[in-house]
C-alpha cells in the first residue's frame, strides 16, 4: 500500500450546536482550543428539512476571523447556486452532496474556478461507488455517519465500511466523517481511515474543549502512523 505520510489529522468542529447568537465568540473559542478548521453547516430546508444560515453570515464571520480554514457543508438541493456567493464570503472548501446534482463534474469545475477546494459528500444510504467516480475531481470525500440535517444523532458504525474501502483504494485521499463523532466513536473512525473529523455536540458541549480536540486528534494521528508503517 502507498504510504499515507502526507495525510494530516484534522479536527473541524461543527458550529451547528453552538450558540449562534455568539457565532464569532464560539468559533474563535474553538480555534483557540485547537480546532484545525471550522465546519459550517448550510441547510436550505429542501434537501434537508432544517434551515441554518447562508453566505451573509459566513461573510460576517470571515470579517472577524481572517486566517482560519472554512469548510461549508452544503446540505442544499442546488449547490451550484451558492458557489460564487460562498467564494465571495471567504470559504476555503465547498463540500456538497452529490445526491441532488445532475452534473457533478460541472459543479466541481465551478467550485475550482471560484478558487475553492472541492468536497464531495454522501448520505448514509448512498453507495460509495456513486462518489468514487468523481474522486479525481475532488480534494476530499465526506462520509456522513448520520442522516444529514440535525445535530446530536446517533453514530452509524456501518458507514465505516465506506471509509475503510476508500482508504484502501485511495491512501492519500482526505476522508471526512460527520455525525455522532466524539471520544466514544473516534477510534472506530480513525481505525477505518478517516483523517478529517467533524465533531459537533461532543466538542461544543465539552467541559474542556481543548482536551477533547486533542484526544480526537491523537486517535487519528495514531491510526495514520499505523497505516504508514
Handedness of CA 144, 44, 129, 169 (dihedral sign): negative
Does the annotation count 36 as an active-site position? no
- pLDDT of the residue at 70: 98
- pLDDT of the residue at 4: 39
- pLDDT of the residue at 149: 81
pLDDT tens profile 145-203:
999 987 678 999 999 999 999 999 999 999 999 999 999 999 999 999 999 999 999 99
Does the annotation count 88 as an active-site position? no
Q: Sketch out the chain's domains with CATH numbers.
A: 10-228 (3.20.20.70)
Q: For the chain, list residues with pLDDT below 50.
A: 1-5
Q: Which pTM value belongs to this model?
A: 0.95
Active-site residue, from 41, 88, 187, 208: 41
- pLDDT of the residue at 1: 29
Active-site residue, from 36, 44, 139, 178: 178
Amino acid at each position: 500500500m502507498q504510504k499515507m505520510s502526507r495525510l494530516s489529522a484534522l479536527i473541524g468542529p461543527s458550529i451547528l450546536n453552538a450558540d449562534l447568537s455568539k457565532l464569532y465568540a464560539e468559533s474563535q473559542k474553538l480555534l483557540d482550543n485547537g480546532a484545525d478548521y471550522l465546519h459550517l453547516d448550510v441547510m436550505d430546508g429542501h434537501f434537508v428539512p432544517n434551515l441554518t444560515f447562508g453566505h451573509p453570515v459566513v461573510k460576517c464571520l470571515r470579517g472577524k476571523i481572517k486566517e482560519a480554514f472554512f469548510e461549508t457543508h452544503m446540505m442544499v438541493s442546488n449547490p451550484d447556486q451558492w458557489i460564487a456567493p460562498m467564494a465571495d464570503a471567504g470559504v476555503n472548501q465547498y463540500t456538497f452532496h452529490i445526491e441532488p446534482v445532475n452534473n457533478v463534474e460541472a459543479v466541481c469545475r465551478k467550485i475550482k474556478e471560484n478558487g475553492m477546494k472541492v468536497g464531495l459528500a454522501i448520505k448514509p444510504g448512498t453507495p460509495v461507488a456513486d462518489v468514487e467516480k468523481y474522486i479525481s475531481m475532488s480534494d476530499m470525500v465526506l462520509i456522513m455517519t448520520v442522516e444529514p440535517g440535525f445535530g446530536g444523532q446517533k453514530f452509524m458504525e456501518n458507514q465505516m465500511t465506506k471509509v475503510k474501502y476508500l482508504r484502501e483504494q485511495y491512501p492519500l485521499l482526505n476522508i471526512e466523517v460527520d455525525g455522532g463523532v466524539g471520544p466514544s466513536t473516534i477510534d472506530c473512525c480513525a481505525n477505518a481511515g478517516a483523517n478529517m473529523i467533524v465533531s459537533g455536540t461532543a466538542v461544543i458541549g465539552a467541559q474542556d474543549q481543548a482536551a477533547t480536540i486533542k484526544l480526537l486528534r491523537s486517535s487519528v494521528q495514531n491510526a495514520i502512523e499505523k497505516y504508514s508503517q
